[in-house]
Amino acid sequence: MSKIKIGIVGYGNLGKGVEMAINQNDDMELVAIFTRRQPEEVNASCKVEHMSDIRKYKDVIDVMLLCGGSATDLPEQGPELASVFNTIDSFDTHAKIPEYFASVDDAASKAGTLSLISTGWDPGLFSLSRVLAESILPEGNEYTFWGKGVSQGHSDAIRRVEGVKNGVQYTVPIDSALEKVRSGSNPEFTTREKHLRVCYVVAEDGADKAKIENEIKTMPNYFADYDTEVNFITEEELKANHSGIPHGGFVIRTGKTGENTKQKIEFSLELGSNPEFTASVLVCYARAIYRLAKEGKTGAVTVFDIPYGLLSPKSPEELRKHYL
């Protein structure tokens, strides 16, 4: 059986995660990584090409996995590459998804290619959980908690504070809030009641730690609406204990059926590495996109359009026999 030929666009944490995930899937083959850097400066397990050469791979690569960022890379690359390749991306600027979908759909429909946008875990698996749970329990309430995990945006915000040399921020769901939700009591929460923000900060020599702590805790948008914990540590401790990129979260729906019967559906993730997990999601969706494109499907799609059977390397017969 010939393997599904994959290309990676962008070789940051996500791209590297995809490279490793493909190794776990025998029916896939990584053909090349495309980068805006000088290819000879990039050390990877396969051929590395400059972005400007990507069109040469039009008839070689079955699915292109776009691993760039949502802020500037994907809005441009998404539609552009969809006009040449079947693509998959993890576009996660929630407010702009309809607009992004329309531009990728237009490009892919015209080119006769198929593009899956906004997959990963949120958007992605969490989105699927929400739709499934609400469809089953239309009368109910849904809660999403994120973490414990590193928030890149909040870590960046810490590092911009004067006197801060380095820092990492964890978003932590508050256990008592989770328990309230699970009890089915349909609580309403303020922002402060759902998540805690825990910061590990390396201060510059001689910096005013009290001032740093105050500046972080009162920072509007990022920290002011939360209970925030600031821990000063050394650069060595930061490297030793906080260099991973864990994340995760919970999607819980509690609802009622019949005459007031309580029902609860919960989906949760605990991820040792956010980018590696997201990469693994992208890779199994590549299998689905490859199969659907072969059937002639074109345009843009989302996780809501993809049946789970297409994600698995196993045949429909095997799935029915062993997984139902």
Q: Residue numbers of the site for a copy of itself (CB under 8 A)?
A: 17, 20-21, 24-25, 94, 97-98, 101, 118, 123, 125, 127-128, 130-132, 134-139, 182, 248, 257-259, 261-273, 276-277, 279-281, 284, 287, 302-309, 311-313, 316-317, 319-321, 323-324
CA dihedral 124, 129, 134, 140 (to 10 degrees): -120
Q: How far is the CB of 201 from a copy of itself (least distance, A)?
A: 25
Residue 160 annotated as binding site: no
Q: 248: Cβ–Cβ under 8 A, 6 or more apart, which residues?
A: 146, 147, 148, 149, 268, 269, 270, 271
Residue 121 annotated as binding site: yes
Q: Which is nearer to a copy of itself, 112 or 316 (CB)?
A: 316
- H-state helical runs in 203-315: 209-217, 235-241, 274-294
Residue 185 annotated as binding site: no
Residue 120 annotated as binding site: yes
Q: How far is the CB of 144 from a copy of itself (least distance, A)?
A: 11
Q: How far is the CB of 198 from a copy of itself (least distance, A)?
A: 20
Q: How far is the CB of 184 from a copy of itself (least distance, A)?
A: 9
Largest CA distance in the chain: 67
What is the sign, positive or negative, of the torsion defined by CA atoms of 266, 272, 278, 282? negative
Residue 146 annotated as binding site: yes
Instruction: Locate 174 and state its tokens.
Output: 């508050």
Instruction: Locate 126 and state its tokens.
Output: 């969490």
Let me know: does 87 contact 63? Beta carbons within 8 Å.
yes
Q: Which is nearer to a copy of itself, 79 or 212 (CB)?
A: 79
Residues comprising the binding site for substrate? 146, 171, 197, 247, 274
